[in-house]
């Protein structure tokens, strides 16, 4: 009985935030607050109460679910939440870089630097095999003199880069005519942007699944409520990253289609 009363005293500040208006809260006996008793861990009660509140809010149609925010320090022995968030943000940044490098209306020499060329000796960026320069606004030149044996592989990589290019070869010189900016070309780039976003979301889901799997390995060490809260917070992180990707896609699509 004494333990129950002490627990009630610790829960009063939390209950006061969610108790229905007009109803009196149960009160513990007056006096000096007692220390937390065994079996009355405050973080666990916070987790349970927050879960109940989130579930109650979720029942209301059209209402946003309560957000979960667990301190990373409290669960560092289960999972590194900061590292998970960094992994998700790295996927977002990779998509942003892909948009800036490969999906532009006007193609520049820098857009060819990281085209991957598959050779018998391995995979290499195009700029490590050939010298890339811009001869005119409508012509890019790739000089393959230093690695002439990789010329055919470079040609293939450029054709399959998704940049709508048809390179021409003259010995060890690759000429790349830059297509005129047509509506068809713009729509093709917008389609590539959508495909890149979908691939990035697949990568994001893999990060989320890996983190959830790691959490579930600790189910015998922590409460069910803690597991539930962690999974929910990771889902929120993934949803936030996915929303950021959608914004990037919308901006890039608007830029490409005009």
Q: What is the pLDDT of residues 15-73, one digit of tens each?
A: 444 445 554 545 544 444 444 444 444 444 344 434 444 444 444 444 455 676 665 66
Do 99 and 186 belong together in one domain? yes
pLDDT, position 173: 96
Give me the percent of the chain exceeding a pLDDT of 70: 70
Q: Write down which residue in 132, 154, 177 finishes a domain.
A: 177
Q: Are 230 and 222 in contact (CB under 8 A)?
A: no
Kindly report which listed range (49-63, 89-103, 178-192, 204-218) carries the lowest average pLDDT score: 49-63
Do 137 and 253 belong together in one domain? no
Q: Write down which residue in 148, 177, 206 finishes a domain.
A: 177
Q: What is the distance between the alpha carbons of residues 57 and 13, in angstroms, rounded to a whole number?
A: 20
pLDDT, position 109: 75
Q: What is the pLDDT of residues 162-203, one digit of tens each?
A: 777 889 999 999 999 987 778 887 898 899 999 999 999 999
User: What is the tally of structural domains in the chain?
Assistant: 2
To the question of pTM greater than 0.75 for the whole model, the response is no
Task: Give the residue from 135, 211, 207, 130 showing the smallest Cα distance to 173.
Answer: 130
Q: Is residue 142 domain-resident? A: yes
Give the β-pairing of 122-125 and 139-143: unpaired
Q: Write down which residue in 177, 206, 224 finishes a domain.
A: 177
């Amino acid at each position: 009985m004494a333990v129950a009363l002490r627990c009630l005293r610790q829960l009063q500040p939390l209950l006061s935030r969610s108790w229905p208006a007009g109803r009196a809260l149960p009160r513990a006996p007056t006096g000096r607050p007692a220390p937390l008793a065994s079996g009355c861990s405050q973080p666990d009660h916070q987790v349970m109460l927050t879960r109940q509140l989130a579930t109650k809010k979720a029942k209301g149609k059209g209402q946003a679910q309560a957000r979960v925010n667990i301190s990373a320090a409290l669960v560092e022995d289960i999972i590194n939440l900061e590292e998970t968030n960094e992994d998700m943000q790295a996927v977002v940044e990779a998509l942003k870089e892909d948009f800036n490098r490969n999906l532009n209306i006007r193609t520049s020499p820098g857009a060819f630097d990281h085209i991957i060329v598959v050779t018998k000796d391995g995979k290499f960026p195009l700029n490590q095999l050939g010298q890339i320069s811009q001869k005119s606004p409508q012509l890019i030149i790739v000089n393959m003199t230093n690695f002439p044996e990789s010329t055919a592989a470079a040609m293939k990589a450029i054709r399959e880069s998704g940049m709508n290019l048809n390179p021409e070869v003259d010995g060890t010189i690759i000429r790349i005519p830059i297509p005129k900016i047509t509506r068809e070309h713009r729509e093709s780039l917008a389609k590539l942007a959508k495909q890149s976003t979908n691939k990035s979301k697949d990568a994001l889901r893999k990060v989320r699944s890996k983190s959830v799997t790691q959490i579930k390995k600790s189910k015998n060490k922590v409460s069910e409520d803690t597991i539930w809260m962690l999974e929910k917070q990771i889902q929120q992180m993934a949803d936030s990253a996915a929303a950021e990707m959608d914004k990037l896609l919308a901006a890039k699509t608007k830029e490409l289609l005009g």
